Structure formats: C-alpha cells, structure tokens
Amino acid sequence: MIKQIHLAAHFPGVNNTTVWSDPRAGSHIEFSSFAHMARTAERAKFDFLFLAEGLRLREQNGKIYDLDVMGRPDTFTVLAARYDRARTFLATAFELFDSWHGDEIVADKASGVFLADASAGRSFHKDLFFDINGRFNVAAQWRALAAERRLSIRELIIEVTGRQTFVGSPATVAAAINDLVQADASDGFILVPHITPGGLDEFAGTVVPLLQERGVFRTDYKGSTLREHLGLAPL
Amino acid sequence: MHLSVALDGTGWHPAAWREERARPAELFTARYWADIVAEAERGLLDFVTIEDGFTVQSSRADQVTGRLDAVLISARVAPLTRHIGLIPTVVVTHTEPFHISKAIATLDYASNGRAGVRVRVSASTEEAALFGRRGPLPGSELLAEAADYVEVVLRLWDSWEDDAEIRDVATGRFVDRDKLHYIDFAGRFFSVKGPSITPRPPQGQPVVAALGHGPGAHRLIGQVADIGFVTPRTADHARDIVAGIQTDRPVHVFADLVVFLGSTPGEAARRQARMDERAGYAYTGDATAFTGTPAQLAGLLVQWQRAGLSGFRLRPGAIPDDLEAITRGVVPELQRRGAFRTAYEAGTLRERLGLGRPASRYAWSRS
C-alpha cells in the first residue's frame, strides 16, 4: 500500500516567520483564533495540532524585543521528549561552537602556518540523542557556500537555517510533499502558516484534496485517539 | 444574593457515586463536566468551583478515586458556556505561580472574562512526597507562602499593561516595550523576575478565592482574596467570622454548606441516610450539612445572609440530584422571594461580583 502522509498544524506565534502586519493577521491570544485553526485542521483530517511553549519574552541588548509577535497563552500539551531533545541539541551545539576558541587561525603566510592547533574543532559528544565524533567545520562549509553562490550574510542565513518551505500552486505543493514522504525523507509535515488564524485555510481547501485524490492522505478519521491517527500500536 | 456550587466528583458524600442517577463511569470524560456545569448555568449561578488536589481522595476501594485536572476541566467547559464563572482549585504549595498565572490568564481568555482561581494549601506529607522537593511546611508558613504566591500571580497579570500589544506597522513594533514590566518579586518563598509570557487577561485580574476554617486562613482571605469561603455553623457564627476578616479591600464572604435536598424533609433525610448506610458511616465534613427541602434551604440562606454574607457556595451531596434541586428548586424559591437574579446580565465574573476592573499597578506607577 502506498505510504500515507501525516500532517499536523503548528499554531503560528512567537517566531520570525509569523506575519503580524498583514491586514488578515488576527490575534495570537484570543481563543477564537485557536478554534479557527483547530477546526480548519480537523476539517482537513490532520493528525494533530501543535502548540509551542515558551515562558520568557525575548530580549535584545537587555530590552524586550518588540518587533516580532510576543506573548502566548498557556499550552498544556508540552511534549517532554521533544524538549529534552531540544535542550540536549542546544547544549551540544554550544559544545561544537566552543570547540573553536577563536585564536586558532593564524594564517601567517610567511611561516606557512594556518592553524595554531592542528586539531582545532575536534569534538566528542555522545548522549541519548547525539553521537558526534569529528571536527566541527560548519563555518568553513558556510563560507564556501557563500563564496560559491555569491550570497550575502542575510541570504546565507536564510539558505542554511530556513525550514523546508513549500511554494507554488496546490498541485506543485501536493507533489512536493508526497515525493518527500514517499522517498522516506519524513513521514509527514508539521505546517506552520504565516498568518493567524486563517493561514491554513487555503492549504486545507486546495492541497489536502489533491493528496486525498492521490490516495496518500486520509479522507476521514478511522480512529479516535492520537495514537491511532499516527498508526502507533495501542499500549 | 450570590450563589455558587462546589463541584467534586459525583458529589460530596463519599457514597454519592452509588446513587441511581450518578454517572461515576463518566467522571473522566469531558461530557460529564460539560453537562454538570451547563446545569449550574441553567440555574443562573454566579460561578462553579472545581476541587483539585494531587493525592487520591481515598484509600478505600469502594470510594471515588482519581480526578481530572481542575484548570483543564474549566478550559474544556469554557467555550461550551457563556455566563457562568469558572473557578478551579490549584494547590499553591507545590506549583509555581508563573505557571498558574498564565494558566488562569489563558482560562480568562478562553472564557471571555469568567475565570478565577481558588488557592489551596497542602500540609500533607504524602502530597509533598509526590514532588520530593521538600517536606511539609508548618501551617503558618503555608499561609505565608500562599500570600506571596498570590502576590506574584497578581503582579504577573499586571506585568503587561492592557494596551501593550500595539501592532504598529509604521514602526514595525508588535508591542510597546515600555508597557511590559519586570515584576522583580523577591521574597522568602519566591523570586520571580517576570514579565508574564501571556498578555494581561480580559478581567485584568481574574477572581482569587480561598477557603478558610480558622483565624490564620481568614487572615489570608483578608489579605489576598476577592472571595472567602467560610464554614459557619449558625447565622451568629457567620456574623462573627465576617467581622473577624480584617481587610481594607472589598472581599466577598460566602458560607459553604453541604446540601441534601428532597421534595419533603423526610425524603431528603432518607436520601442522606441511604448514602450514609452505603458508606458505612455518617458523613460529616468541614462544612455544615443541610438536609431538607429547597424551600427550607432558600429560607435559611435568606436568613443567614443577613449576617453579612455575600452569598453561598453549596456543595451538592450527590450529583445530579442535589445539583438539580439547587438549580430547579432552590433558585426558583429565591427568585420568588426577590433574592436572586432571574437572568444573567452581560459582563465578566468580576463585574457580576461588583469588583470592578483593576488597573495594572505598573500603569499607575508609570503615570
């Protein structure tokens, strides 16, 4: 049987991909916004709705950052494992950043010494989530990419840190999602619309029917629990 | 008169779940709670409170054990109701004020201004062991901690001024950062910087309630609560309690009564006796029990109110029987006496209680 796609909706909120200045942008706090998006996702037979959690307002230079959406209601459904991984991910990333101390690059043409320490960037890290043994060379990769494609720093950051983005007609987007899932790049996608609360409406109305026509997305719920939607065995 | 009901499982009597119309198998469903809160709303009640705690209620296999989270029940029923206030219980001894402030603020958004919180302290060793952070505190310390807890929660609710979200497209600013405030609370029990992650709730400050049986808890009610639930034995006792609650703020004092109702005094007594027999003992709790007809209870409520009470929190002995006897029996009797509303007026829970909407303390300090 052809592999079935799982789809989830991420309520847009405190991040720089949420467009609050659009005339269609509504409240990120009022319950009606959550109800709208949840109903859209359920109408489109999505697996689940994802609500992010964060406790602290972002600051920049000691002041509260005022340019992005700020504030969120309480989201009770925190997936602990996700955040354990996130915490470990960050700690590991900092270890990797710190594997270069900043004074390794001598680049002395006269003596021919480029690195003061030939093992700069050497890292070992092993835990439940990550097993890393090697040399951290992201900076070098990024520089090479920027040079090759003549990217500005801004363009480079967008290129290397952006999430998977689907742009195009409903048919293009449906094909792209299906191709990735059938190629086992993932089992599905968590979609983050740019606009609250109506940002999912068009996807639900145009892309989902195309996925259903291809027989890769459910036309109705078969079970009632989240585990059942995800095809996980009962415990 | 203000009138509310305290919801706890299938009712306050330990054998209530064995009554014919009880729905013990549905206690862990949303539908059960939606149905009983809807019944309370049909009775035009001011609010419901929902009990909560972290330890199981009973070690006996023949009594109801386990419960759903009171804040989450309230959030679930909020969009299904329109008027009735929702006051879940939270145990302040083992939770963080930051989490509870945003949870209750969120309930206030989900209910369009009908949220409150009843703060409860816990002296139980078993409950402390569930968290493992520390042993039980002495009673006076529990109450001092609860007072600081409420102060932190209030400051967090105030930490966003009402109009902090500006969405100013011209300057690209989503918020006016001058209207977000660090609360910088530092006390013996908490050290909280703030601001909240959740904008100021619709009521400004959702309603704070506490139950108290003695002078220490009555002092806490006078310090921090909008509503105090008290347990007088008589009208005179109620008068003494009201007089003993020292405060310079408007505080509503509600008397708690456990009620067993019937169409005749005999029927009410028979119902109570049946439940006592099934439990194996005569149920008594911290609050006075009333056994009789709805008309008799209405008369008693009117009489006791003259002691200076704002209203009552009735604890139905069994649900749905005693709950329906309140909404369909006691309420019409009170209405007939001109003592209770005949329709809801639009407005928030604070407005229904005549409490007004407090300005953020930080807006005051800035201007």
Give the pLDDT score at A138. Answer: 64
Can you tell me the distance from the alpha carbon of B193 to that of B152, in angstroms, rounded to the nearest whole number? 10
Backbone phi, then psi, for B187, in 5-degree steps? -135, -170
Q: Does B177 contact A64 at a Cβ distance shorter than 8 Å?
A: yes
Model ipTM?
A: 0.88
pLDDT above 60 (res A80): no
Give the pLDDT score at B88. Answer: 98
Give the pLDDT score at A77. Answer: 31
Kindly report whether the global pTM for this prediction surpasses the value 0.90: no
Q: Which of B167, B175, B198 sits opposite A73 (nearest CB)?
A: B198
Partners of residue A25 in chain B, C-beta under 8 Å: 167
Burial of B226 (0-12, 13-18, 19+ CB in 10 A): buried
Q: Which of A20, A55, A63 sits opposite B197 (nearest CB)?
A: A55
Place of tokens 């079935």: A4
Q: Does A72 contact B198 at a Cβ distance shorter than 8 Å?
A: yes
Chain A CA closest to residue B100: A74
Confidence of residue B164 (pLDDT cuts 50, 70, 90): very high
The DSSP H or E segment spanning B341 is none
pLDDT above 90 (res A67): no
Q: Which of A99-108, B197-206, B285-294, B320-329 has the lowest mean pLDDT?
A: A99-108
Confidence of residue A1 (pLDDT cuts 50, 70, 90): confident
The DSSP H or E segment spanning B290 is strand B288-292
CB B186 within 8 A of CB A38: no
Residue ranges and CATH numbers for the domains of chain B are: 2-123+206-366 (3.20.20.30)
Segment A90-103 shows an average pLDDT of 72
Place of tokens 């419960």: B67
pLDDT above 50 (res A107): yes
Strands B47-50, B2-7: pairing is parallel
Burial of B30 (0-12, 13-18, 19+ CB in 10 A): middle
If one compares A109 and A29, the residue with the highest pLDDT of the two is A29
Confidence of residue A208 (pLDDT cuts 50, 70, 90): very high
Give the pLDDT score at A133. Answer: 60
The residue ranges of DSSP E strands in B108-239, in sequence order, are: 116-120, 165-168, 173-175, 185-186, 191-192, 207-212, 227-230
Considering chain B, what is the average pLDDT of its residues? 96
Confidence of residue A81 (pLDDT cuts 50, 70, 90): very low
Cis peptide before B320 (omega within 30 of 0): yes
pLDDT above 90 (res B120): yes
Place of tokens 């049987």: A1
Place of tokens 């709730």: B201
pLDDT above 90 (res B225): yes
Question: Of B245, B273, B276, B272, which is closest to residue B260 (Cα–Cα)?
Answer: B272
Q: Which of A56, A57, A74 sits opposite B106 (nearest CB)?
A: A74
Does the beta carbon of B80 lie under 8 angstroms from any beta carbon of chain A? no
Q: What is the four-CA torsion angle of A32, A38, A41, A45, rounded to 10 degrees?
A: -140
Question: Of A20, A3, A124, A14, which is closest to residue A58 (Cα–Cα)?
Answer: A14
CB B109 within 8 A of CB B202: yes
| Distance (Å) of CA A209 to CA A30, A45, A213 | 29, 11, 6
Segment B25-34 shows an average pLDDT of 95
Query: What angle is formed at CA B262 by the lines to CA B258 and CA B264, rounded to 5 degrees?
Result: 130
Which A residues in the span 31-90 are in contact with B, Cβ-Cβ below 8 Å?
31, 35, 54-57, 63-74, 76
Which A residues in the span 130-159 are in contact with B, Cβ-Cβ below 8 Å?
none
B202 secondary structure, DSSP code: T
The shortest C-alpha distance from B363 to chain A (Å) reads 17
Backbone phi, then psi, for A85, in 5-degree steps? -65, -40
Place of tokens 């989490």: B99
Segment B43-48 shows an average pLDDT of 98
Does the beta carbon of B172 lie under 8 angstroms from any beta carbon of chain A? yes
Q: Does A73 contact B173 at a Cβ distance shorter than 8 Å?
A: no
CB A71 within 8 A of CB A28: yes
Segment B169-187 shows an average pLDDT of 95
Q: Spell out a b/e string for B307-346, using b for 16 or more CB atoms within 10 Å of the CB, else e.
A: bebbbbbbbbbbbbbbbbbbbebbbbbbeeeeebbeeeee
Q: Which of A25, A31, A72 sits opposite B110 (nearest CB)?
A: A31
Give the pLDDT score at A82. Answer: 43
Partners of residue B173 in chain A, C-beta under 8 Å: 66-67
Task: Annotate B204-248 with three-state secondary structure.
Answer: CCCEEEEEECCHHHHHHHHHHCCEEEECCCCHHHHHHHHHHCCCC
Partners of residue A31 in chain B, C-beta under 8 Å: 78-79, 109-110, 112
A124 secondary structure, DSSP code: E
Q: What is the interface size between A and B, counted as CB pairs within 8 Å?
A: 68
Give the pLDDT score at B64. Answer: 87
Question: Of B171, B174, B300, B296, which is closest to residue B233 (Cα–Cα)?
Answer: B300
Can you tell me the distance from the alpha carbon of A21 to that of A16, in angstroms, rounded to the nearest whole number? 12
Predicted confidence (pLDDT) per residue in A138-189, tens digit: 666 777 888 888 888 888 877 777 678 899 999 999 999 999 999 999 999 9
